[in-house]
Amino acid sequence: KNQVEQSPQSLIILEGKNCTLQCNYTVSPFSNLRWYKQDTGRGPVSLTIMTFSENTKSNGRYTATLDADTKQSSLHITASQLSDSASYICVVRVYGGSQGNLIFGKGTKLSVKP
Amino acid sequence: AAGVIQSPRHLIKEKRETATLKCYPIPRHDTVYWYQQGPGQDPQFLISFYEKMQSDKGSIPDRFSAQQFSDYHSELNMSSLELGDSALYFCASSLMLASYNEQFFGPGTRLTVL
């Protein structure tokens, strides 16, 4: 069964600190992996998107890694800001199949405190 | 840059009523997707359209229908509303031939059924 699991479920850090969110997936065949940031009550906003051949991709203070062999991804946030407080969702797309075939993780709820 | 527009942003309906949600994709995007996100849940794929034709169907109830119009905007029609239909409804759009075929999400419509 195609699944995406994220950890931790929630995380509280102090402003200015770094943190790393984890994503493990059992999706096959794999097409790409995306990290989204979702503010409460808002639509997900894409942070990074990677195919199996990409190991690292950065977007400002966000750096995502992908290990296609172990089927693991991480999202590292550097020098956190209060505005980073949100849910971070790992989404894996199944290769081929339907265009709607995105497998969503449950997300990690990040709270950045002053 | 223009984003996906959804209207209304909030909607309150009574049980057994009908609701229509609208989605305006990013200009030149040819594919529209609809998702339903219940409280504390990950988004569930409902249906997608490519070039005005239904391209994939997910867990959309028979009480719901959708279509994509000639200007590529899409409408999700929901009839005989039930309490369990209360959720955040996201629309996403993409350009089929773009790299990754990445989906860009709208801000969502929060539907509350009383």
> Does B51 contact A at CB distance below 8 Å?
no
Q: Would you state the pLDDT for residue A80?
A: 97
Q: Are A113 and A14 in contact (CB under 8 A)?
A: yes
Task: Verify whether the Cβ–Cβ distance A104 to B43 is below 8 Å.
Answer: yes
Compute how many other C-beta atoms are within 10 angstroms of the C-beta atom of residue B76.
24
Name the residue facing A106 among B4, B42, B92 (closest C-beta): B42
Name A100's Cβ contacts closer than 8 Å, sequence gap at least 6: B33, B45, B47, B48, B55, B56, B58
pLDDT digits (tens, 9 = 90+) for A89-114: 999 988 775 556 788 899 999 999 99
Residues in A lying within 8 Å of B, measured between beta carbons: 32, 34, 36, 41-46, 49, 51, 89, 98-102, 104-107
A-B contacts at Cβ under 8 angstroms: 55
- B39 cis-preceded (ω within 30 degrees of 0): no
pLDDT digits (tens, 9 = 90+) for B51-102: 889 888 888 999 999 999 999 999 999 999 999 999 999 999 988 777 677 8
> Does B45 contact A at CB distance below 8 Å?
yes
Name the residue facing B104 among A42, A46, A104 (closest C-beta): A46
Q: Would you state the pLDDT for residue B41?
A: 85
Q: In what order do the strands lie in the sheet with B5-7?
A: B5-7, B19-24, B74-78, B64-68
Residue by residue, what is the 3-state secondary structure of A44-66?
Answer: CEEEEEEECCCCEEEECCEEEEE
Q: Kindly indicate the confidence band of residue A27, based on its pLDDT and cuts at 50, 70 and 90.
A: confident
Burial of residue A70, with CB atoms counted within 10 A of its CB: 0-12 exposed, 13-18 middle, 19 or more buried: exposed
Q: Are B64 and B76 in contact (CB under 8 A)?
A: yes
Q: Would you state the pLDDT for residue A65?
A: 97
Measure the CA angle with vertex B6, ends A88 and B44; round to 5°: 50
Chain A residues closer than 8 Å to B55 by CB: 98-100
* Distance from the A15 Cα atom to the nearest Cα atom in chain B, whole angstroms: 25
Task: Verify whether the Cβ–Cβ distance B105 to A45 is below 8 Å.
Answer: yes
Q: Would you state the pLDDT for residue A41?
A: 81
Q: How far apart are CA B101 and CA B11, in angstroms?
A: 30
Task: Verify whether the Cβ–Cβ distance A98 to B106 is below 8 Å.
Answer: no
Q: Would you state the pLDDT for residue A97?
A: 58
CA closest to A104 among chain B residues: B42
